[in-house]
């Protein structure tokens, strides 16, 4: 009996697989996510998987500083001018809005004059290290799509580490080291992204490229996302199909560009010299006017929309998936293991839709429109077909004589064929035009 049931289920899934190939808009491809785009050839449909648009993710983050009292202004103190480290008559005062430099000014809209920025206390406790951790948290998994850019109003730090977390800040991994002297600071030979290749793209490097001192035209630090994309998509990122194919098949590569949190570890302020001038410690501090983090919500290619509601980001999941990242199948749609969507095959990809569970059929076995009870059976409260004498099965699709082994070779053949198709509709949950 159990062997017979197993063989029946196996045969059913073979049929399911065959049907799925004939319904790509429902099961196989991303037609539901297509959008019109404009190219040199004119207006075309773009099918590249279900994913939210990339945006400035700093609009949705929370920032935390450690130590929490590291921001200047409480108590008020003077510090030296940005361009001239010996002009030390500037004041930071947290109680006066025009003189305050709170953390939120790292993310406000630039363009006002003078520019707005967060600033730390000065290095007045030298030789005790002046160190700050700036943690950016989203409470959501996001995928980076452009360079991380940090703009300093002080000199760029002599030593800094950019770190990432994939588990909401429980553990951290380095993204990149920055130093005026990588060998001295981190015991690493200096490198740039240009020294990497497709095979070494995941290597964690230390760069000296962004660690000069008080230079007015040298305020920016990059973590180069696009340069890494270019190893697969070409220098102008025109071959995105190649990049998507790599992201689809290489989990470590996909995880490299995925984060829940970022941490900027400022370890030593810009000195511009070998020795610290202990007579002018008000010269040394950190100040950041802007941080840019571009990316999209990670929805495992199962959503085109990510909403920000009650200070929380979440995917609006398609394909019968659910969860913050569309990372599991909905209840009663666990007929096969959950799988992320796929960019492959190019250009349409594969949706990997969750399908109904066999065990869930009893919750809606029949109705009066699509899931008809067969062979004269009647639907009772949508949960049971009451079959006439001579028939059995979920939809009365099977002859009772089959169980007794007494059916003739052609008895009920048409009923069995139509009943099997109807049962397949029930299992798949197709609610479009009737198949028969």
**pLDDT band for position 21 (50/70/90)?**
very low
> What is the per-residue DSSP string for 306-358?
EEEETTEEEE---TTEESTTS-EEPTT--SS-----B-PSTTT-B-------G
Q: What is the mean pLDDT of residues 101-123?
A: 84
Work out the mean pLDDT of the chain and round it to a whole number. 81
Residue 94: pLDDT above 60?
yes
Q: Which residue range(s) make up the domain with 387?
A: 361-401
Q: Do 62 and 150 belong together in one domain? A: yes
pLDDT at 160 over 60: yes
Percent of the chain with pLDDT over 70: 75
When mean pLDDT is compared over 310-319, 392-401, 413-422, the highest value belongs to 310-319
- The reply to whether 435 falls in a domain is no
Do 116 and 262 lie in one domain? The reply is: yes
Do 379 and 269 belong together in one domain?
A: no
Residue 24 lies in a domain: no
Q: Is residue 343 assigned to a domain?
A: no
Q: What is the mean pLDDT of residues 156-165?
A: 96
Residues 378 and 279 in one domain: no
| Mean pLDDT across 55-60 | 95
In 3D space, the residue among 372, 411, 409 whose CA is nearest the CA of residue 390 turns out to be 411
pLDDT at 393 > cutoff 90: no
pLDDT at 234 over 50: yes
User: How much is the pLDDT for 372?
Assistant: 75
Check pLDDT > 80 for residue 86. Answer: no
Does residue 334 sit within a domain?
no
Apex 190 CA angle, 212 and 146, nearest 5: 75
Identify whether 130 is part of a domain: yes
- Rounded Cα distance, 424 and 436, in Å: 12
CATH assignment at residue 376 = 2.10.25.10
Q: Which of 245, 277, 297 is the last residue of a domain?
A: 297
For residues 375 and 280, membership in a common domain is answered with no
What confidence tier does 150 reach under pLDDT thresholds 50, 70, 90? very high
Does one domain contain both 85 and 191? Answer: yes
At residue 426, the pLDDT reads 44
Query: Does some domain include residue 410?
Result: no
φ and ψ at residue 90, rounded to 5 degrees = -85, 150
Residue 240 sits in the same domain as residue 113: yes
Q: Can you give the pLDDT at residue 429?
A: 42
Among all chains, which residue has been given the structure tokens 């363009």?
111
Number of independent structural domains in the chain? 2
Query: How much is the pLDDT for 265?
Result: 98
The residue among 252, 269, 297 that closes a domain is 297
The whole-number average pLDDT for the span 243-272 is: 92
181-231 pLDDT per residue, tens: 999 999 999 999 999 999 999 999 999 999 865 554 578 999 999 999 999
CATH of residue 186's domain is: 2.60.120.260
Which residues are CB-neighbours of 297 under 8 A, at least 6 positions away?
Answer: 52, 140, 141, 142, 143, 303, 306, 313, 314, 315, 325
Q: Looking at the domain assignment, is residue 274 inside a domain?
A: yes
Which pLDDT score, from 0 to 100, does residue 167 have? 96
Q: What is the pLDDT of residue 179?
A: 95
Q: What mean pLDDT comes out for the span 69-97?
A: 88
The reported pLDDT for the residue numbered 371 is: 65
Q: Is 246 among the domain residues?
A: yes
* pLDDT higher at 434 or 146: 146
Same domain, 293 and 366: no
| Least trusted range by pLDDT, from 72-76, 220-224, 340-344 | 340-344
Same domain membership, residue 236 and residue 91: yes
Assess whether 139 and 218 both reside in one domain: yes
Same domain (yes/no): 64, 152: yes
Residue 224's pLDDT is: 96
- 93, burial (CB in 10 Å: exposed 0-12, middle 13-18, buried 19+): middle
Q: Are residues 169 and 272 in the same domain?
A: yes
Q: Is the pLDDT of residue 377 over 80?
A: yes
CB 124 within 8 A of CB 155: no
Mean of the pLDDT values across residues 36-46? 61
């Amino acid at each position: 009996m159990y062997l017979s049931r197993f063989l029946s289920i196996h045969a059913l899934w073979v049929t399911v697989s065959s049907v799925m190939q004939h319904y790509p808009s429902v099961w196989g491809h991303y037609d539901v996510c297509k959008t019109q785009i404009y190219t040199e050839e004119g207006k075309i449909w773009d099918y590249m998987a279900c994913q939210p648009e990339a945006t400035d993710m700093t609009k949705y983050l929370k920032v935390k500083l450690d130590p929490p009292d590291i921001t200047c202004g409480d108590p008020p103190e003077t510090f030296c001018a940005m361009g001239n480290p010996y002009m030390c008559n500037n004041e930071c005062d947290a109680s006066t809005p025009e003189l305050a430099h709170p953390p939120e000014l790292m993310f406000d809209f630039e363009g006002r004059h003078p520019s707005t920025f967060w600033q730390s206390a000065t290095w007045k406790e030298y030789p005790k290290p002046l160190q700050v951790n700036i943690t950016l948290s989203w409470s959501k998994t996001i995928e980076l799509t452009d360079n991380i850019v940090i703009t300093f109003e002080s000199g760029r730090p002599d030593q800094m580490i950019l770190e990432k977390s994939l588990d909401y800040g429980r553990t951290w991994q380095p993204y990149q080291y920055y130093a005026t002297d990588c060998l001295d600071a981190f015991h690493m030979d200096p490198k740039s992204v240009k020294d990497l290749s497709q095979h070494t793209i995941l290597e964690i490097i230390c760069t000296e490229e962004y660690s000069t001192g008080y230079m007015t035209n040298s305020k920016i630090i990059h973590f180069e996302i696009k340069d890494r994309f270019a190893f697969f998509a070409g220098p102008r990122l025109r071959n995105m199909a190649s990049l998507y194919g790599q992201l689809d098949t290489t989990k470590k590569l996909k995880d490299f560009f995925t984060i829940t949190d970022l941490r900027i570890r400022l370890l030593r302020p810009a000195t511009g010299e070998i020795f610290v001038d202990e007579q002018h410690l008000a010269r040394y501090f950190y100040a950041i006017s802007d941080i840019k983090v571009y990316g999209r919500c990670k929805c495992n290619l199962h959503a085109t929309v990510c909403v920000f509601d009650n200070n929380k980001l979440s995917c609006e999941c398609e394909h019968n998936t659910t969860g913050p990242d569309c990372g599991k199948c909905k209840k009663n749609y666990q007929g096969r293991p959950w799988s992320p969507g796929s960019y492959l095959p190019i250009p349409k990809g594969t949706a990997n839709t969750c399908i109904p569970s066999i065990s869930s059929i009893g919750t809606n076995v029949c109705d009066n429109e699509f899931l008809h009870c067969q062979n004269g059976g009647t639907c009772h409260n949508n949960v049971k077909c009451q079959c006439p004498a001579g028939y059995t099965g979920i939809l009365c699709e099977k002859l009772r004589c089959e169980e007794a082994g007494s059916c003739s070779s052609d008895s009920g053949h048409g009923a069995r064929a139509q009943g099997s198709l109807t049962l397949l509709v029930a299992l798949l949950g197709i609610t479009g035009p009737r198949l028969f």
